[in-house]
């Protein structure tokens, strides 16, 4: 089964942010984003244990390499990836639930970042969960790949269907 998986960096998309955010009540395709709320952003910011995490080029490339490596180890077919400064989009085919893929890739990316020692090992890097969408039809898979590869702005660290 193929999935569109998205996860964000810690503290970069707080609920109520004017740039838009998604929560459990606003997470279906086409549904409206969470309404802007300075009070909600402020409340969430007070709960943060670390500053927001943003990835520079070395971090983005390390995360992409970790994702490619882990997908290969697990026999998951990585069709597209885009590692941005504050979030990651993936189209992955695998015989496990997308939540397991999401969790596994976040953990492995953190492990790889720890090994290159760009951050302290206890640094929070990822938001608590992420978005996992099942792509049931071939045209949905193609649309997701186009979204990940072509609709994220300038390519920072990404791949499409095995291209490096």
Tens of pLDDT, residues 70-115? 999 999 999 999 999 999 999 999 999 999 999 999 999 999 999 9
Cα 151 → chain centroid: 15
24 CB-contact burial (10 Å; exposed 0-12 / middle 13-18 / buried 19+): exposed
Residue 63, Ramachandran bin (φ over 0: left; ψ between -120 and 50: alpha; else beta): alpha
For 33-43, letters b (16+ CB in 10 Å) and e give bbeebeebbee
Q: Which fold has domain 2-13+53-160?
A: Alpha-Beta Plaits (3.30.70)
- Residue 147 sits at φ, ψ, to 5 deg, of -60, -50
pTM of the entire structure?
0.84
Give the start-to-end residue ranges of the domains of the chain: 2-13+53-160
Tens of pLDDT, residues 16-64? 777 766 666 756 666 677 777 888 778 877 888 889 999 999 999 999 9
């Amino acid at each position: 089964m193929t999935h569109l998986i998205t996860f964000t960096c810690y503290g970069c998309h707080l609920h109520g942010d004017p740039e838009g955010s998604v929560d459990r009540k606003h997470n279906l395709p086409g549904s409206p984003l969470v309404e802007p709320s300075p009070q909600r952003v402020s409340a969430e910011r007070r709960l943060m244990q670390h500053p927001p995490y943003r990835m520079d080029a070395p971090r983005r490339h390390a995360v992409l390499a970790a994702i490619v490596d882990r997908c290969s180890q697990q026999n998951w077919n990585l069709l597209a990836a885009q590692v941005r400064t504050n979030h990651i989009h993936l189209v992955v085919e695998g015989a496990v639930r997308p939540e397991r893929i999401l969790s596994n890739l976040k953990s492995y990316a953190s492990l790889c970042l720890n090994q290159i020692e760009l951050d302290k090992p206890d640094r929070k890097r990822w938001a608590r969960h992420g978005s996992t969408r099942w792509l049931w039809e071939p045209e949905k898979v193609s649309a997701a790949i186009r979204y990940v590869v072509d609709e994220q702005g300038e390519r920072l660290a990404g791949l499409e269907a095995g291209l490096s």
